[in-house]
Amino acid sequence: MKILVTGGAGFIGSHVADALLEEGHSVVVLDDLSSGRAENVPEKALFLEGDLRDAALVDRAFAEHDFDVVCHQGAQTSVSVSTREPVRDAEINVIGGLNVLEAARAHGVARFVFASTGGAIYGDIPEGQRAGEGWPPQPISPYACSKLAFERYLAAYHHEHGTPSTILRYANVYGPRQDPHGEAGVVAIFCQRLASGEKIRINAMREVGDAGCVRDYVYVADVVKANLLAIQGKLEGKVINVGSGEGTSTLQLAERIEAALGVKTDKEWGTRRAGDLERSVLEPNDELQRHTGPATPIADGIRETARWFAGRA
């Protein structure tokens, strides 16, 4: 198949592109390199540098290439940035996404896979519970709103035009290649800082000095597997949580990374960040896990990730 991977110069998109090429597919990456890096784009992929907000450019890409599937990973991905720049967030995540969806419809693309967020859409999940796909969305950040809005557009396009799609709601994804310099991606930030002997900061869940927010950390290889299945059409028409089902506080995460790297560091204690949920843990999707097996244990994923960052420090 010929597959368009938007955001394929980014963390997750580039891993998906690698896996698709390994399976013998042909891959075109569309990315403006705003947070992605050209060196992440696999050599065998065709790279189109461009902005999703440019409707004419997006349409030209579809006119020139006969895509079978769109895997839409390209996005403004930071919750903090979305709280500061909600209009830009919506321009990229809603209008940019619509440019891709509209071109996919106009050019008769068979399948659309969307990288949504289980980590932000469901809102705070009370202690002892996990959010399944039926949990009512309660977005509290502009980022969560833009992702949920685009999910609704996909449903509307399916209803109106029959465009088939799969929505993958990722938990907090971590792994090699994640950008440690942004504001999102605490695993990458901690790995990079600890591997370079720098201090790390635990931002508060409520009060300065607490163990920090609780998140469901999912390894990027598990996210790639979900994308491959969706691209093959095995999860068509579905909304799928891609998570580990396990809650980990920021402090526990820091200790896991310290153990993986064999280091110990002084910690700084930060205040709560705007837009941050206190607790987010997903109920892993049964159908997905029937295909892929259980999620990668956090100890294994952190070990691989820490090793990768240590090799670059």
Distance CA 96, CA 216 (A): 28
- Amino acid identity, position 98: L
Contact flag: residue 117 with ligand NAD (CB under 6 A): yes
* Between 43 and 266, CB nearer to ligand NAD: 43
Across 135-166, b (16+ Cβ under 10 Å) vs e yields bebebbbbbbbbbbebbebbeebeeeeebbbb
CB of 247 to ligand NAD, least distance (A): 15
Closest CA to 304 of 173, 172, 175: 175
* Between 12 and 213, CB nearer to ligand NAD: 12
Contact flag: residue 96 with ligand NAD (CB under 6 A): yes
Residue from 69, 73, 202, 288 in contact with ligand NAD (CB under 6 A): 73
Contact flag: residue 219 with ligand NAD (CB under 6 A): no
E-assigned strands of the chain?
Answer: 2-6, 26-31, 46-49, 69-72, 111-117, 165-170, 172-174, 200-203, 214-215, 217-219, 239-242, 248-249, 267-270
Q: φ and ψ at 69, to 5 degrees?
A: -140, 145
Residue 63's alpha-carbon distances to 44, 49, 60, 265, in angstroms, are 21, 16, 5, 53
For residue 303, count CB atoms less than 10 angstroms from its CB and return exposed for 0-12, middle for 13-18, buried for 19 or more.
middle
* Between 33 and 140, CB nearer to ligand NAD: 33
Q: The dihedral of CA 61, 62, 66, 68: what is its sign?
A: positive
Distance CA 87, CA 108 (A): 30
CB of 189 to ligand NAD, least distance (A): 12
143 is known as an active-site residue? yes
Residues 136-195 that bind ligand NAD (CB under 6 A): 170, 172-173, 179
* Between 264 and 273, CB nearer to ligand NAD: 273
CB of 262 to ligand NAD, least distance (A): 26
Q: Which stretch binds ligand NAD (CB under 6 A): 28-36, 99-107, 230-238, 256-264?
A: 28-36
Residue from 4, 17, 48, 52 in contact with ligand NAD (CB under 6 A): 52
Contact flag: residue 285 with ligand NAD (CB under 6 A): no
Distance CA 127, CA 145 (A): 23
Contact flag: residue 21 with ligand NAD (CB under 6 A): no
Distance CA 143, CA 275 (A): 9
Residue from 5, 61, 70, 76 in contact with ligand NAD (CB under 6 A): 76
CB distance 40 to 14 below 8 Å:
yes
- How many residues of this chain bind ligand NAD (CB under 6 A)? 29
Residue from 17, 41, 71, 77 in contact with ligand NAD (CB under 6 A): 77
Q: Which of 143, 157, 170, 217 is catalytic?
A: 143
* Between 119 and 247, CB nearer to ligand NAD: 119
* Between 122 and 170, CB nearer to ligand NAD: 170
Closest CA to 48 of 7, 79, 13, 108: 7
- Active site amino acids: 143
| Interacting residues toward ligand NAD by CB under 6 A | 7, 9-13, 31-36, 51-53, 73-77, 92, 96, 115, 117, 119, 170, 172-173, 179
